[in-house]
Amino acid sequence: AKAAGRNGYRFFAPEMSVEAKTRMKLELSLRHALERRELSLHYQPRIDLKTMSIVGMEALARWHHPELGDVPPMQFIPIAEENGLIETIGHWVLEEACTQAQRLLGKFGRQLRISVNLSARQLKSRSIVEQVRGVLDRTGIPPQLLELELTESALIDDIAHSAGVLKQLKCLGIQLAVDDFGTGYSGLAYLRRFPLDVLKLDRSFVMHQDEDENSSEFIKAFVDMAHALKMAVVAEGVETAETLQFLRNASCDEAQGYFLARPLTLEAFEAYLSRLPAA
Ligand code: C2E
Ligand code: CA
Ligand code: CA
Ligand code: CA
């Protein structure tokens, strides 16, 4: 106990690697990030590929650390997932995203769908269904305009449990999407066990579609299979005009990507909406 506690050196022992120290530092400051208002959301437009008009937006978490600057979500979300903070952060994301979406619906008079990422840990949380119900009640957002994105790996981690939770969430009238689809695991057969509305193709193969014939073939096959299961297909990571055209030809329903629009701050997203032709 003596060695461990002395001057807190247990935490920043000299033999720790630089990465381990950075991670420890991130973990400690992430505990206060919410109360210190260091977290915010960016919104990335989602475009209907038939009409080419905006149909919704994905809320993406951002963390501005006072010393380290912007910490990417790929860095802090896994930490939050591991130490359990994701439950608090995820709840905040859901509440903030729905609050802003409901305000934007009123302000711009468009039926925009708000998509929120739900982590594996949140899906396992006992209170998740009550949380979502509470957010719908408090914000007054129409349930069909809220979509929750769950990764393929989170869903198949405990199929029986996930299926039960998804059924309850579906009863609230919201939309459910499988995120990062195609990154491995299981194929489409297991998807039939979940009440899913939307399949999001992972950006790793959407991005390489124009260089890689396999990716193109996968995308076409997934679109057809998803449609057979009555799911809409969303492609993310659309970076070129060629990929956009390919997806339209492949009957993909919606898309997101830097070629269409980057994730935007709330202010920039509002400016984007005000520049659009009337709905
Ligand atoms: P994701 O859910 O797959 O989100 C899409 C990511 O692709 C975002 O990265 C977005 O900025 C990026 N992206 C969009 N269009 C393009 C493109 O054309 N090209 C490329 N190269 N990238 C594009 P971001 O914002 O860095 O988020 C990374 C991941 O962090 C997300 O991947 C998601 O898994 C996680 N994440 C972000 N916010 C949240 C959150 O609130 N809760 C949870 N649980 N996870 C989150
Ligand atoms: Ca997502
Ligand atoms: Ca994704
Ligand atoms: Ca991803």
Kindly provide the residue ranges of all beta strands, DSSP E only, lying in 93-250, ordered along the sequence: 113-118, 146-151, 175-181, 198-201, 232-235
Residue with CA at minimum distance from ligand 1 atom 8: 60
Strand partners, 149: 117, 177
What atom in ligand 1 is closest to the CA of residue 149?
2
Running along the chain, 279 residues long, what does each successive block of 10 average in pLDDT?
A: 48 74 91 96 98 98 95 96 96 98 97 97 96 98 98 90 97 97 76 93 87 86 93 97 96 98 98 90
What atom in ligand 1 is closest to the CA of residue 256?
15
**What pTM was estimated for this model as a whole?**
0.93
Asked whether 180 and 206 are in contact (CB, 8 A), the reply is no
| Integer Cα distance of 155 and 200 in angstroms | 14
List, chain by chain if needed, residues with CB within 6 Å of any ligand 1 atom.
44, 60-61, 72-74, 77, 90, 93, 117, 119, 179-180, 203, 236-239, 256-258, 263
Q: Residue with structure tokens 């007054």? A: 140
Q: Which helix (H) or strand (E) holds 111?
A: none
Residue with CA at minimum distance from ligand 1 atom 15: 257
The encoded tokens of residue 54 equal 């905006």
Residue with CA at minimum distance from ligand 1 atom 41: 61
Strand partners, 65: 69
What atom in ligand 1 is closest to the CA of residue 119?
44
pLDDT at 3: 47
pLDDT at 12: 59
Q: What is the DSSP letter of 143?
A: G
Q: Checking DSSP bridges between strand 198-201 and strand 232-235, what pairing results, if any?
A: parallel
Q: Residue with structure tokens 């969303």? A: 234
Helices (runs of H) and strands (runs of E) counted in the chain: 12, 9
Q: Which helix (H) or strand (E) holds 169?
A: helix 159-171
Rounded to whole angstroms, what are the CA distances from 120 to 63, 155, 232, 259? 20, 8, 22, 29
Burial (0-12, 13-18, 19+ Cβ within 10 Å), 135: buried
pLDDT at 2: 41
